[in-house]
Each structure stands twice: as structure tokens, then as C-alpha cells.
A and B are shown apart, each in its own frame.
Chain A
Amino acid sequence: MIRPTSLILMVLAAAAGGALFQVAFEVSELDDELARLNRDIRTDRDAIHVLRAEWSFLNQPERLEELTRRHLDLLPVTGKQIAGTGAVPVLPQDELPTTGSNIAGVVTPAAIPTAAPRAKPAAPAPRAPVTRVASKVNRADLARSLDDVLREVMTTPAAASGGVQR
């Protein structure tokens, strides 16, 4: 007859074996998952690569200029529009509050050093054109993107850029 100790040991052995195989299968599944994720990452990286090319293509200065002309009331910055803070008239001292600050740690205007900080001219930030935004890039999007870029670069008529033609 089987003694209780043997029974317990057998059950334990079976349980250990079962758990072992369970873990092994889980690892194998995770392995597959990892491989799939890596594949996805690679696909996405390729997609990013294509999109970067497209982004650069869409950001041609000439194209941005044309879009700005069409949609915005903006012109390039000229020298006349840039001035240092030193050129801003300063309020007379007595019109400024002299009794320290109401808020702890906040410097009152009177305490601000009068030396004019270096003028930082505002470089015109190129307006990015709104293009399609895909939350998840899939194969079809990638294909369409690459299609657009290749077609455009391959068929851009020489005259479109308005260069000197002879």
C-alpha cells in the first residue's frame, strides 16, 4: 500500500513538474511575443524613416513660403523690427512700488537690475504644414507614404521649382 508520505511526495513531484513545464511554455510564449514586438519595432522604424523623408520633403523652404503666403499674414523679420530691451522706455522710479514684494520670493521691478539683457531676435519659426497624423503606422500607411515620396521626387517637373531654365 502507498504510504501517506509517498503520496505527498508524488503529488509534490507532479506539481513541481507541472509548474516547471508551465513556466517553460510561458517563456516560450514570451519569446514569441518579443520576436513579434521586435518585428513591429523594425516596421515602425522603417515607417519613421520614410516619414522623415516625407517631412523633409514637405518642409522645402519654397513650399513653406508659398503656404505662408497663402494662409498667413506673416512676412520675414526685418532689421527694423528687432530692438534690444534697452530701447524700451523705463518707467520713472517713483511710479514703481518701492515697498518690497507682496509675494515671498518675487522680485519687485525696482530690484531688477537695469542692465539691458542681450537682445534675442525672434527667428521666424517655420510653420509646419498639417499633414495626416497616424496614431499607429500600419503597412498600408507606410506603403502610401513611400509611394507619395517616390512619386513626387521622381516626377517633380524641372520647371516647378522656378529655377533658371535654359
Chain B
Amino acid sequence: MNDRIAFESTKKQAIETARTRLLVGGSLMAAAFFVVGIRLFDLAVFNETEDLRRAASREIARPSTMARADIVDRNGVLLATSLKTASLFADPRKISDPTNAAHRLVEILPDLSEEVVAARLGSGKSFVWLRRNLTPRQQFEVNRLGIPGLDFEKEERRVYPHGRLAGHIVGFTNVDNVGLSGIEKSMDAAIAGDNPPLRLSIDIRVQQILRQELASQIEKFKAIGGGGIVLDAESGEVVAMVSLPDFDPNAAGQAADDTRFNRMTLGVYELGSVFKIFNHAIALETGVASFASSYDATRPIRVARFTISDFHPEKRWLTVPEIFQHSSNIGSAKIALDIGSDDQRKYLGHLGLLRRTSIELPEQATPMYPSRWREINTMTISFGHGIAVSPLHLASAVAATVNGGILRPATLINHDAKSTDGVQVFSAETSDQMRRLLRLVVETGTGRNADAKGYLVGGKTGTAEKQVNGSYKRNALISSFVGVYPVTAPRFVVFAMLDEPKGIKESYGYATGGWTAAPVVKGVVARMAPLFGIAPLDETAPDIRHAININAQPAIGNRSDAVN
């Protein structure tokens, strides 16, 4: 009985203990579940940080950032962009069989040399570049080889869809996306990083027209090169600028040095008679001569050991308009003597011809002019010898001469026409007279080949002998033409230049600006005017005749040319 009681009591006690333990364990479990439940509830309902992250996650859809901004033309046509590519590198320590790996790689990347790759893979370094900028297909093929130790790094490669057409302007970068020339270099700070596209002032269509017209004349006259500029006469924006021969910025490394040379900004030339524009403008502005004045151009001028003579001598007294029309060096030199060295130098300085331009290109030159401005210099500078400027200098100064007399800095960046302050160089009246003179040259003078019908081109030819080792070479010419249109209210200045053109039968052996460069300007004007909505005008309409008329009698005592 005692046993039984004892037994029962023991059993009961055990059950009690078990119950208690169970209760403790159960409570612990319940507490744990309760905590987990609370946390779960907290996570699901009250988790603010999670909600905020989620709310902010729409930011994931931001455009992927690029290391370099696009460059576009004035109409938004893409000129330079960055494409994501993969670059192949290797960890040679992980390459077990360099020879075999090199052999298989070169099959996919045939531009690599098998020996070089094998040497690099066997070098025992921890990192070697094998090839930058693979196309996606090449990347896939390399991956398929399954060689351990090869890997890719995401990179961006600069791509120039229009290639050589804007090569000198846009420039190029190195593989590490640092600008090395052109806009890529000068505007590096504005382009580098994730920036909005940079809009240039150039128009790729005009660029093509200019390049084509130039190339065909260069070929025709067997010139060694050439160039052209289309400048907005009001705003100073460069609408097109071509220098030939040119290069493809996509393969800038392989381009010859002379193709990378931008003749329009980095080249300085004695441009010859186109400078008579400034000589006449200064004379009219300072009042030393008027349309009615005349000068004796009967015989050449001899100063010291120099002789100044005319290319097409008229051998008579010439009025100021006639001097311009026949491009008389003698007459121009005599006008320059009346102007005087000081005024000549002052106005050329105001026109920006004695300092660098403000164009956004690293490739630009400082003009060359005599340090001591003597009388002989004044005389030769009047017809564009003894002073060397870049063609962009000239185009910019011509724009200032014809647009009402205001010089606005030449620029490659698209901006509003009147947003930059100009400097008044000439009076509106002088500018008006110069436009009449420029039209005279195209209607009846040396610039007839530039007359694009209906667009009222005015302009001036220039033919200069190149200086080689200090002496002028008779048969090495810089032939140029600078035109403005429509001459009644100029919108554009168009400059064209050929470097060492040779005379041909069609031009009666001449290689002058009127024969070689003027047709380029004519072609460019006729083809670009419709693109800019410039309607052709009736050149015989009375109001237009009135606007381009020159009221001056021919010089005394001689036959009268068609000067009216």
C-alpha cells in the first residue's frame, strides 16, 4: 500500500514536473513567437524606412549616366556620342596555357598580333590590357572560349557618326575619354561628366555642301588643299567650316599630321586683295576718300627695292569704286598712304585682325604683322601682303564690315543672334557703301564667277603668292574669295580658299581667286539659301538697284567702264 502510495505520489510528482517544464517551454516558445509576430507586424505595417526606399525607387529609372556628353549640330544632329563597350583584360597568373589562349583569341580579334598577346599572357603580371572597346559580338565570342583569367571592363567609346565631315571642329579624344583636339578639348570641362548635349552653331548640311564644292574645285585645279567658312553675319556663329585635306576623328590616331591641320583657324596666310575691303572701309570711314575721289594708277609705284604694280593694269586715273572693282594695288597703296599707318593699324586692330580670335578651338593662330609699321608696310598691307591672318579672322572682320559695322566674336556654340554685345567698328553708312562696292565686284569685276542668280552675292577676290623661305613663289598661290549675301541685308559671309591651285585650260591658265574660289562660293550660296528660307530676289527690281547703286563718275579723261 505504502508502495502504491509512494508509487502514485512519485508518478504524480513526475507529471507535475513535466507539466511545469512544459509550461515554461511553452511560455518561452509563445514569447518568442509573440516577439517574432510583433516584428513581423512591425515590418509589414510600420516599416517606414522600407517604404521610403520603395517610394524613392522610381529613381532607378533615371537615364543611365554617361561619362561624356553628346555634341550635336544646330539642328540637333548627333556629331559625337559615347557608346558603352567592353574592354578585354587578363590576369596572366591565372592563364595556364598562354600560347594556346593567344592563338584562340587572335582568331576572334584578328587585329591583334599573336606573339604580342602570348607575351602579355605569359608575363606573370596581375593585369594586362588585351584590347579596348570590343563590339558586343566579339565579347560574346571571347566569353564562349571559356578561358579562365580573361575578363571585361565596361568602358565608353567616343563615336563620331559624321566622321571627317566635322572632324576639325568636333575634334577627338583619347581612349580614356580626354579631349585632345577641337571642341572635345576646348570644351572638355563642359562635356566631361553627365551633362546635357552641347549644341554647336554648325549645320551639318551646309558643312557637306561646302566640303563638296571645295573638294571638286581642289580636284579640278590640282590644289594641295583648301578650306571654307560660312559665318552668320549678324551673330558671328560659324555655320560651316571645312579644311581639306581632312581626317576621320574615329581613327584620328592613323591620320597624317597635315590632315589634322585646320587651315581655317590654325593656318595664317597673306590673303592678298581681299584685304582691300578693309582698306576701302577705313578710307571711307575716316573720310580720307569718297566714291568721287580718284587716284593715279598710271604707272607702278617704286619704293626702295619694291615695285607695286597691278595684275590687270588699267594705266589711268581710277575712282575709288574703280580701284576696288579692278582690284588695283597701286590705287589701294595710295589710299593707304592717305589713311596713314596709325589709323590703318588702329582699325585693323578694332577688326580683331591683330590678335587671336575667340573661337572655341585650341587650334588657332596669332596673326603675323610687322612689329615696326613703316610706310612700305602700310602700302603692302592695304592689298593684303605683309600681314598674315587666319581665314576665320578675315571672315569675322568682313562680317563686321558689312553687317552695319558691328564686330561680334566668331563662335562655334549655338546662341541667339543678338545675345552677344558687339563692338561698333564702322558706321552704318560706311557699311552700306562697302556692300555696294562688294556687289560691284561680283556684277562687273573680278568676282563674276560667284554670282549665284537671285541671291545678290557681293564679294572680293584675293590671289596672293605664297612666301617660301622669305621670297614669294610665283606659281604657289593662295587663291580666295570672300562673299556676302544677300548684299542688301547680309545674312551670311561665305569664304573659300584654295592652296596652290594650278591654272587649267578652262580658266585660260589662271589660278586666281576669281576662277578657283569664287565658284565654290556660288555653289554654296545657291545650295544653302533654300535651307535657310532665303527667297531669291529680282536683281533688276528698282528698289534693289537703288540699294546697290554706286553714284560716281568714272575718273577724268578716260574711257568709262560699266560703273554705274
Residue ranges of A at the interface with B (Cβ–Cβ < 8 Å): 20-21, 24, 27, 31, 34-35, 37-39, 41-42, 45-46, 49-50, 52-57, 59-62, 65, 76-80, 82, 84, 119-124, 126, 142-144, 146-147, 149-151, 153-154, 156, 158, 161-166
Q: What are 7 A-B contacts with C-beta separation under 8 Å?
A: A21-B44, A57-B162, A60-B163, A149-B161, A158-B251, A158-B254, A163-B246
For the complex, give the distance between the alpha carbons of A165 and B204 in Å.
Answer: 21
Contact check, A164 vs B161: say whether CB atoms are below 8 A apart: no
Interfacial chain A residues near B530, Cβ < 8 Å? 76-77, 79, 82, 121-124
Contact check, B57 vs A61: say whether CB atoms are below 8 A apart: no
CB-CB under 8 A for A164 and B57, given A50-B83, A153-B161: no
Write the nearest CB–CB distance from A133 to chain B, whole angstroms: 19
Write the nearest CB–CB distance from A76 to chain B, whole angstroms: 6
Contact check, A60 vs B251: say whether CB atoms are below 8 A apart: no
Q: Is B385 an interface residue (CB 8 A)?
A: no
CB-CB under 8 A for A154 and B250, given A61-B165, A164-B225, A166-B245: yes
Write the nearest CB–CB distance from B183 to chain A, whole angstroms: 16
Interfacial chain B residues near A120, Cβ < 8 Å? 533
Q: Is B407 an interface residue (CB 8 A)?
A: no
Majority SS of interface residues in chain A?
Answer: helix
For the complex, give the distance between the alpha carbons of A38 and B402 in Å.
Answer: 56
CB-CB under 8 A for A165 and B245, given A31-B54, A61-B208: yes
For the complex, give the distance between the alpha carbons of A123 and B137 in Å.
Answer: 40
Contact check, A60 vs B162: say whether CB atoms are below 8 A apart: yes
Write the nearest CB–CB distance from A29 to chain B, whole angstroms: 12
Contact check, A35 vs B60: say whether CB atoms are below 8 A apart: yes
CB-CB under 8 A for A35 and B159, given A79-B454, A120-B533: no
Contact check, A156 vs B45: say whether CB atoms are below 8 A apart: no
Interfacial chain B residues near A126, Cβ < 8 Å? 205
Contact check, A35 vs B57: say whether CB atoms are below 8 A apart: yes
For the complex, give the distance between the alpha carbons of A162 and B45 in Å.
Answer: 70
Contact check, B219 vs A164: say whether CB atoms are below 8 A apart: yes
Q: Which residue of A lies closest to B226 (CB)?
A: A164
Interfacial chain B residues near A146, Cβ < 8 Å? 83-85, 135-136
Contact check, A52 vs B452: say whether CB atoms are below 8 A apart: no
Contact check, B85 vs A76: say whether CB atoms are below 8 A apart: no
Q: Which residue of A lies closest to B41 (CB)?
A: A20
Q: Name the interface size band of chain B.
A: 35 or more
Interfacial chain B residues near A38, Cβ < 8 Å? 57-58, 60-61
CB-CB under 8 A for A49 and B455, given A35-B60, A60-B163, A61-B165: no
For the complex, give the distance between the alpha carbons of A142 and B135 in Å.
Answer: 11
Q: Is B527 an interface residue (CB 8 A)?
A: yes
Q: Per-position contact with A for B245-276: 1 when CB-CB < 8 Å, else 0?
A: 11110110010101100000000000000000
For the complex, give the distance between the alpha carbons of A55 and B41 in Å.
Answer: 54
For the complex, give the distance between the alpha carbons of A21 and B83 in Å.
Answer: 45
Interfacial chain A residues near B219, Cβ < 8 Å? 164
Contact check, A49 vs B57: say whether CB atoms are below 8 A apart: no
Interfacial chain A residues near B526, Cβ < 8 Å? 78-79
Interfacial chain B residues near A50, Cβ < 8 Å? 83
Interfacial chain A residues near B453, Cβ < 8 Å? 79-80
Partner of B245 from A24, A59, A79, A164 at Cβ < 8 Å: A164
Interfacial chain A residues near B54, Cβ < 8 Å? 27, 31
Write the nearest CB–CB distance from A131 to chain B, whole angstroms: 14
Interfacial chain B residues near A21, Cβ < 8 Å? 44
Q: Which residue of A lies closest to B223 (CB)?
A: A164
Write the nearest CB–CB distance from B162 to chain A, whole angstroms: 6
Interface residues of B in 217-254 (CB under 8 A from A): 218-219, 224-226, 244-248, 250-251, 254
Contact check, B78 vs A52: say whether CB atoms are below 8 A apart: yes
Contact check, B140 vs A53: say whether CB atoms are below 8 A apart: no
Q: Which residue of A lies closest to B59 (CB)?
A: A38
Q: Is B563 an interface residue (CB 8 A)?
A: no
Partner of A161 from B58, B60, B248, B254 at Cβ < 8 Å: B248
Contact check, A163 vs B215: say whether CB atoms are below 8 A apart: yes
